[in-house]
Amino acid sequence: MANINFEGKSLLITGGSTGLGEGMVNAFSKAGAQGIILDLRPPTELKQGWIFFECDVTDEGSVREAIDSVPEEMKPFDFLIANAGVVPSWASIADTSIEVWDKVMAVNSRGIFLILKYGSKLLRTPDGAVVVTASINSWKGDANIVPYVASKHAVLGIVRSAALDLGKSGIRVNAIGPGPIATGALLSRIESRGVNTNLSVESALELLSKQTALGRLASIEDVAGVALFLCSDLARGVTGQIINVDAGLL
């Protein structure tokens, strides 16, 4: 990551206040970039050169208002990172409510569409880059999490189609497919599931690690590193793709 220099570059990122998004903001900031974070809540620390706008990515008016608020001096952006997402609690398809289905699809799919619809207009042309946080569940299924899997399959379709639409303007669009990452959100879900599985958080993480080729979970820094790569000139010939960051989940 230290070899990529983004001095003078700027980006717009959704869901940049916590988890993977926070890790990406840290990585891009260390590489010299500045930008705008769109999220429902502000980050605990707003880095120099960065601006925060409250935004609900499921609401078209909220997204449009946030985009309209971007200062002229920060336009055009070099990079757009559509990262905001939500993971529901585990439940069988029979026990999944329509309210949960609608919420997950709204954040994970409609939210991606809306930020691309409005945010892509602020991207530098040519040579702008879009990175979308998808999932390994963009290409594989898992039990007890149907809304999430469906929403992330939709995300991959959006990425592949957007790559064709925006490619005409010289903008690249790619996705990252994280596997299990030990974010606060994942640890919280593991802890809640432990009531039924009788597994401690440490034991559950160890089991997940043993399922990977590297014998460890991929990290937030691993995901951020791939985002840096996809936005850099090293990936000038890459578009419409998904790169899994899962430590070789088998």
- Assess whether 118 carries a catalytic annotation: no
From 9, 17, 148, 223, the catalytic residue: 148
Q: What share of the chain is helix, strand, coil (3-state, %, to 5)?
A: 45, 15, 35
Average confidence (pLDDT) over 81-104: 96
More reliable by pLDDT, 198 or 48 = 48
Residue 51 φ/ψ, nearest 5 degrees: -125, 145
* Pairing status of strand 172-178 against strand 129-133: parallel
CB-CB neighbours of 78 under 10 Å: 18
Per the CB < 8 A criterion, the answer to whether 74 and 10 are in contact is yes
Question: Per-residue pLDDT tens for 108-164?
Answer: 999 999 999 999 999 999 999 999 999 999 999 999 999 999 999 999 999 999 999
CA separation for the pair 86, 46 (Å, rounded): 22
**pLDDT tens by residue, 180-200:** 887 766 666 666 665 466 677
Cα gap 134→240, rounded to integer Å: 12
Q: Whole-model pTM?
A: 0.93
pLDDT of 214 above 90: yes
Residue 1: pLDDT over 70: no
Measured CA to CA, the distance from residue 183 to residue 52 in angstroms comes to 22
- Give the helix/strand (H/E) hosting 118: helix 111-119
What does the pLDDT read at residue 157? 98
Going along the chain from its start, the domains and CATH numbers come out as: 10-245 (3.40.50.720)
Which one has a higher pLDDT value, 48 or 203? Answer: 48
